[in-house]
Amino acid sequence: MRTYLDHLGVERGLAANTLTSYKRDLRRYLGYLDSVGVGDLDAVTEQTVLGFLMALREGDAEHPPLSATSAGRTVVAVRGFHKFAVKDGLARLDPSAGVRPPSPAKRLPKALPLADVESILDAAGAPGTVLALRDRALLELLYGTGARISEAVGLDVDDLDLNETDGSVAGTVLLRGKGGKERIVPVGRYAREAIAAYLTRARPELVAAGTGTPGLFLNARGGRLSRQSAWTVIVKSAERAGVTAEVSPHTMRHSYATHLLEGGADVRVVQELLGHASVTTTQVYTLVTVDSLREVYAAAHPRALS
C-alpha cells in the first residue's frame, strides 16, 4: 500500500489533499481486511470487497454510515489499489474488478442569482481595513475566473498578468488545477481592478508583517492565506450580504459556469475555463440552464401552459 501511495504521489502527481483522502480510505480498508481475518492480497475475493462496501454503507461503532458518494470514492481507491497490485506483480488477480461503486443521486450544481453574487462581492471584508481589499480581490477572482479555492490560495503574484489586452477583457491568470494541470484564464475588468487595489494598497502592509512570500493572498500575519480562511471569507461575506442560500467557494465556481452558459458561452469553452478533463463534467451545468429556459418559456409563450 505504501508503494501504491508513492506511485500516486510521484508518478501520477496527485495533489496532497487527494493523497490524504486515499490514505484514509485505504487504511480503513486494511482495518476491515484485518477484522475479517484476511492478511494476504491473494486471499481477498470479490465477496470480501463487496462486504467492505456494505460495511461502509451500514457504518459501525467507530464510523457513521457513508453516503453513496463517499462510499463510491472509497471503493474507487480500493479498486485502484488492487489494479496496481496486479500490474506490479504483487497479486495474481484483481478481486475488485467486478465491484462497481454505488451510483449517487445526481445533484445539480448550486448557482446563485447574479444579484446575490454582486451583494456578496459588495459585502466583502470589514469596511475600511486592508483585509477588506484582500477579501474583495479574492471573491472577484473566484467569481471572475471560476478558480477552485485551492487554485486561488495557491496563486503567486507572478501568476498574474493584469496588462490590458483589448477593450473588454484585461489580463490573465495562470491556474494550477488537479494533477498539476495548468490553464490560463482571462481576468475581467472588475476582478482586475479589485486585485490591483489590493496589490497597491493592502498587500504591502500584509507582507511586511511576515517574512516575505510570493503568495498573492496573505493573512494578517503575512503568510499565505489558507483554504479554511478563504472559505470563512466567503461565508462571512454572504452573511453580511443577507444571502440565505448555502454559500461555499464552489458556489462561486458553479455560478461562474452557469452564468457563462446562460450568457451564450459554448460548453467546451466553459470546460477549458473550468479545467475539466471531460466535457461530461461540464455538461451538468447545461441542466441548470435548461431549467431556466423552461421557466422563461412557461412565463413568456402564449401557448406554453395548458
> Hey, which residues are catalytic here?
148, 178, 250, 253, 276, 285
Residue pair 111/62 in contact by the 8 Å Cβ criterion: no
Instruction: Retrieve residue 2's grid coordinates.
Output: 505504501
Q: How many residues does this entry show for the chain?
A: 306
Question: Cβ–Cβ contacts within 10 Å for residue 109, how many?
Answer: 15
Measure Cα distances from 211 to 155, 204, 215 in Å.
18, 12, 12
Using DSSP, state whether 265 is helix, strand or coil.
Answer: coil
Q: Which three cell numbers stand for residue 16?
A: 496532497
Beta carbons of 72 and 102 less than 8 angstroms apart: yes
* Helices and strands: H and E segment counts in the chain: 13, 3
Round to the nearest angstrom and report the end-to-end CA distance of the chain.
61
Distance CA 44, CA 42 (A): 5
d(CA 260, CA 149): 19
